[in-house]
Structure 1
Amino acid sequence: MKVLVPEKLAESGIELLEKDFEVDVRLGLSPEKLLEVIGDYDGLIIRSATQVTADVIARAGKLRAIGRAGIGVDNIDIEAATKRGILVANAPESNTVAAAEHTLGLMLAVARFIPVADATLKAGEWNRSAYKGVEVQGKTLGLIGLGHVGAIVARGALGMGMRVLAYDPYVSEDRIKEMGVDRAETTDDVFDVADFVSLHVPRTPQTTGLVNAASLVRMKKSAYLINVARGGIVDEGDLYDALKAGEIAGAALDVFVKEPETDSPIFRLPNVVVTPHLGASTAEAQDRAGVTAAEQVATALRGGVPVHAINAPVPSGEGAEFVAQFSELCETLGRLLYQLTDRPGSSLRIEYSGEVARFDTRLLDVSAQKGLLAPMVNEPLNFVNTPALAKSRGFKVETTKASGSSDYTSLVVLRLDSPEGEMVVSGTLIGPKMQPRLIHAVGFDFDIPPERYMLFIRNRDVPGMIGRAGATLGEHGINIGNMAVGRGEPGSRAAMAVTVDEAVSGEVLDALLAIEGFTDARAVSLY
């Protein structure tokens, strides 16, 4: 597979990709040239300069993954990518330290007039009395957003003796207390009391223009505004008016509505510090972003779900790593369920019980659907296009969760309707290495590791059936790897789940069914 890199990427990221893929570094591709060549590539890694438009995606017949070496994905048409089943991932944590340090640097710079004092002194003026700044110790820093960057800024501010007041409805009360900050119930609470207001939210329809004339007039006349998040969160016209009128003391900005920006009237105000979007511009952050983006694309091209996928159901928060370990099991159960059902219906019920049921299982829902639907469709399935394809086929998925399981710490059960009746399979992960186990299939309980080639046999529960099955497989040169037996009441009915080293042909199945006592035999291939 081939990966296109049209912008400068850390050499360590390139080296990581080159272990498994052919990498083309083609810096400075024009939009027209990108349209011309994108059809040759399976993966694409960009920064902020490359625009991945709907037209680009329409030409990208082979493209499976787009990696953004940075946090913002404004330059990627996410909707178009999702419709085409192209996974988009970014590197949201790569620049957190850099952005947080830049925020604190700008706060100190605007509070102490550092840039203008530097410029005038270098111009031959000694204006010591003109630049009387303010100390940050004892002041209140108001944070709107307490994510990765906001949390680092909070730690730095607390270290300088500031009080931190934060608005973020998605952060738990325990986390707020653990960090030693005070919770603001609304953004107005921050604007009303903070001496410094710092923004740490993405630009969305809800946050665009968050800082405007109405919010600026609420701020103290001695307060400062800092934005190292995204342009557009601040209404720059309203900010200019407030600064010029003295409604706030000053502002420090690293991002703007239009970039590059070199001629904003804000730049001509003496109480403003500006930088050209330098929040992520450290050598360390650029290296981390490149490596992370490379890791995300490599994971996607190998068929996995990157931890920073934008348009796929990635588990997050508590238990995310634990849940992700069940993804392969759920896909395996889906594949098994399809192959054990002659006429699959259009309704799947997924049941989670035990520890796994405590967490976000959307990734597992898609994994199960992916395994079940793969044999039904004529296109590759991934974690992006599977839900859309399921919906387009009228496939209904229902999930239920139960906190306890009588026999297993965690259990996943898939139930598929069919004209033959409900078909059920279940499985779990066991041991310190979280090894998969098949627990139920063809109406019987088992305990067997699922393997690529398996055979499921139903039979009367009479002596000699296991030996006859083994002898028949042996006669056809098929080696048994493992076997588990499930049974009902003694002497009634039973079943065998058998792992074998190669695919079982129809001829072998016919030979088994020719033996008195065997009532059903099915061969499956799980990957």
Structure 2
Amino acid sequence: MKVLVKEKIAQAGIDKLKAAGFKVDVKIGMSADELLDAIGEYDALIVRSATQVTGEVINRADNLKVVGRAGIGVDNVNLEAATKRGIIVANAPQSNIVSAAEHTVALMLACARNIAQASASVKAGKWERSKFQGVEVYEKVLGIIGLGRIGTLVAQRAIGLGMKVTGYDPYVSKERFAQLGIGRAATIEDVLKVADFLTVHLPKTKETIGMFGDREFAIMKDGVRLVNTARGGIYQIDPLVGALKSGKVAAVGIDVFDAEPPVGNPLLEFEQTVCTPHLGASTVEAQDRAGTQIADQVIAGLKGEFVSNAVNIPLISVEAMEAVKPFLSLAEKLGKLFNKLAEEGIHSLDIEYVGPISKYDTKLLTIAVLKGVFDGVVEEQVNYVNAPIFAEERGIEVNESKKQSSQDYLNVIRVRGRDGGNDVMVAGTLVGKKNQDRFVNIYEFDIDMVPSKYMAFFRYEDTPGMIGKVGTILGKYNINIANMQVGRRKIGGEALMGLNVDIPIPDNVIEEIKSSAGIAFAKFMVL
């Protein structure tokens, strides 16, 4: 078999491929047209981020069995086209986490001791000891927003420096925080109030972009030092510039920018900023690790073995796959719904399969639920391989159970768990010849809802006029209700109202509904 290495990887990875008996062609300078002409003769393709593995490339790849991305993401690979052709796509998601964590600590120390500025001063022929007086990190509070793999590694290294670490991550259990020796904050604001140093390890989502603005800077301690090696745009530029000018923020260490290179970025003008050109993964070890890890994945794929970092490979038999495939979307949506309804760190998940579906291997559906739970809330792209790892890292116990028959529906998937002190339960099924997704039970209330992008749920005492109150307030703000469902257990008891709406419901509108209609629980979500 032949392997095409289109972009530079570590020689150790190439040596592994050759040792496994494969013919390896390293053609780094190959153009896009040359790739199209040549790809048909190769069994595996290894790329990094520059090569676009388009649908046209996939369609020309008559012999291709594996595409290996020597790095974390697979944005440059057409996954849909590859999956349709039965081509395995794998990456190396853990190759740079140590490097990213160490770079975070390096920027933190550089901010504390003015290392970059002092170095530039000495090289300019100056000797300004008093100007660059710094602070110790010992016994200072490091605030961490996002305790995924990188955030956890940063915390461990900071504890080794004698720092006090407090963090916020609603998807990490109290037990996991205690195990790591990290103080668990109930809100992001609680972290901002106490942090002497602050680092953020979050994915790039609609919620995280620009999440730190004037309000958040006002909450922070005077003289706080910020580090960002996660994603550009998490800090709003104008408020950050203002905080630097006022001294609210003493220093910033930044490795990622909204636009790269950051030409004209005002942060470059400040002496108290330490800026690096996206170096989080740029170490010899990380590059070597990416090369050797992807070589292992390609070797496994070509040999027909389990590909642990595959992002699109079925993990069950063909028969089971045919049975569970229609439920994958539903399972993921149930995971997302559970995630949105959970208000504290998730402790456990119990996933029950009821009906004929229970006769099959359902582990892929369980992974789909986990994918939904963590999608958009961890710093890495979630797939069917790493979703269980995220649960394990956060100390979340995951259990499967099965029941042969259901009273109400042919098949039902129930997801139940604890989010601290409360039980959360959601359930769904498929209906009709087109296997349409339905949410059929939420918080033990029977309901029949089509999942949609924008949804809202309200719990309240079932009294006349509640539907009208909610509808009137939404109408006042020109928010159209596409669908409404109400579930209750008895007349006059507690009821659950579920809405599908056309546009997002702002927080102030949710608060107005709660206060005006006397609703105790109200939540808007984007699925």
Q: What TM-score does the superposition give when structure 1 sets the normalisation length? A: 0.58
| Whole-angstrom distance in 2 between the partners of 1:235 and 1:62 | 48
Q: Give the match for residue 7 of structure 1.
A: 7
Q: Give the match for residue 431 of structure 1.
A: none
| Whole-angstrom distance in 2 between the partners of 1:89 and 1:180 | 34
Question: After alignment, is 5-14 or 199-208 more displaced?
Answer: 199-208
Deviation at residue 136 of structure 1 after TM alignment = 1.1
Checking the alignment, whether the CA contact within 8 Å between 1:5 and 1:24 is kept in structure 2 is yes
| Amino acid across the alignment from 1:351 | K
| Whole-angstrom distance in 2 between the partners of 1:333 and 1:88 | 21
Checking the alignment, whether the CA contact within 8 Å between 1:351 and 1:400 is kept in structure 2 is no
Task: Indicate the SS of the match to 1:249.
Answer: strand
Distance of aligned partners of 1:229 and 1:365 in 2 relative to their CA distance in 1, 3 Å threshold: closer
Checking the alignment, whether the CA contact within 8 Å between 1:98 and 1:280 is kept in structure 2 is yes
Q: Give the match for residue 203 of structure 2.
A: 202
Checking the alignment, whether the CA contact within 8 Å between 1:42 and 1:64 is kept in structure 2 is yes
Q: Give the match for residue 193 of structure 1.
A: 194
Distance of aligned partners of 1:291 and 1:153 in 2 relative to their CA distance in 1, 3 Å threshold: same
Task: Indicate the SS of the match to 1:273.
Answer: strand
Task: Indicate the SS of the match to 1:251.
Answer: strand
Deviation at residue 107 of structure 1 after TM alignment = 0.2
Q: Give the match for residue 69 of structure 1.
A: 70
Checking the alignment, whether the CA contact within 8 Å between 1:6 and 1:25 is kept in structure 2 is yes
Checking the alignment, whether the CA contact within 8 Å between 2:36 and 2:60 is kept in structure 1 is yes
Q: How does 1:286-365 map to 2 (within 5 A)?
A: 286-312=287-313, 327=316, 330=317, 349-351=357-359, 361-362=363-364
Q: How does 1:241-320 map to 2 (within 5 A)?
A: 241-261=242-262, 263-312=264-313
Checking the alignment, whether the CA contact within 8 Å between 1:98 and 1:285 is kept in structure 2 is yes
Q: How does 1:177-192 map to 2 (within 5 A)?
A: 177-192=178-193
| Whole-angstrom distance in 2 between the partners of 1:99 and 1:189 | 25
Q: How does 1:29-428 map to 2 (within 5 A)?
A: 29-236=30-237, 238-261=239-262, 263-312=264-313, 327=316, 330=317, 349-351=357-359, 361-362=363-364, 401-402=401-402
Distance of aligned partners of 1:185 and 1:311 in 2 relative to their CA distance in 1, 3 Å threshold: farther
Q: Give the match for residue 512 of structure 1.
A: none
| Structure of larger gyration radius | 1
Checking the alignment, whether the CA contact within 8 Å between 1:350 and 1:365 is kept in structure 2 is no
Deviation at residue 260 of structure 1 after TM alignment = 3.8
Deviation at residue 69 of structure 1 after TM alignment = 1.7
Deviation at residue 61 of structure 1 after TM alignment = 4.6
Checking the alignment, whether the CA contact within 8 Å between 1:351 and 1:401 is kept in structure 2 is no
Q: What percent of counterpart residues are identical?
A: 50
Checking the alignment, whether the CA contact within 8 Å between 2:358 and 2:402 is kept in structure 1 is no
**Gaps in structure 1 of 5+ consecutive residues:** 315-326, 336-346, 367-382, 385-398, 404-412, 414-527
Distance of aligned partners of 1:232 and 1:307 in 2 relative to their CA distance in 1, 3 Å threshold: farther
| Whole-angstrom distance in 2 between the partners of 1:236 and 1:78 | 34
| Whole-angstrom distance in 1 between the partners of 2:94 and 2:142 | 23
Once the two structures are superposed, what CA deviation does each residue of 1:114-171 show, in whole Å capped at 9, x if it has no partner? 0010111111111111112121112111112212221111111111121111122222
| Whole-angstrom distance in 2 between the partners of 1:13 and 1:348 | 45
Deviation at residue 54 of structure 1 after TM alignment = 4.5
Distance of aligned partners of 1:279 and 1:24 in 2 relative to their CA distance in 1, 3 Å threshold: same
Q: What TM-score does the superposition give when structure 2 sets the normalisation length? A: 0.58
| Amino acid across the alignment from 1:183 | R
Checking the alignment, whether the CA contact within 8 Å between 1:110 and 1:272 is kept in structure 2 is yes
| Whole-angstrom distance in 1 between the partners of 2:297 and 2:59 | 22
Distance of aligned partners of 1:79 and 1:126 in 2 relative to their CA distance in 1, 3 Å threshold: farther
Deviation at residue 236 of structure 1 after TM alignment = 4.2
| Whole-angstrom distance in 1 between the partners of 2:42 and 2:83 | 17
| Whole-angstrom distance in 2 between the partners of 1:284 and 1:154 | 21
| Whole-angstrom distance in 1 between the partners of 2:207 and 2:79 | 18
Task: Indicate the SS of the match to 2:144.
Answer: strand
| Whole-angstrom distance in 1 between the partners of 2:321 and 2:266 | 60
Q: Is 1:27 equivalent to 2:35 in the alignment?
A: no
**Gaps in structure 2 of 5+ consecutive residues:** 323-354, 369-382, 385-398, 405-527
Deviation at residue 184 of structure 1 after TM alignment = 2.2
| Whole-angstrom distance in 1 between the partners of 2:122 and 2:58 | 52
| Whole-angstrom distance in 2 between the partners of 1:253 and 1:53 | 33
Once the two structures are superposed, what CA deviation does each residue of 1:466-508 show, in whole Å capped at 9, x if it has no partner? xxxxxxxxxxxxxxxxxxxxxxxxxxxxxxxxxxxxxxxxxxx
| Amino acid across the alignment from 1:349 | I
| Whole-angstrom distance in 2 between the partners of 1:402 and 1:169 | 29
| Whole-angstrom distance in 2 between the partners of 1:247 and 1:92 | 36
Distance of aligned partners of 1:348 and 1:114 in 2 relative to their CA distance in 1, 3 Å threshold: same
| Amino acid across the alignment from 1:9 | I
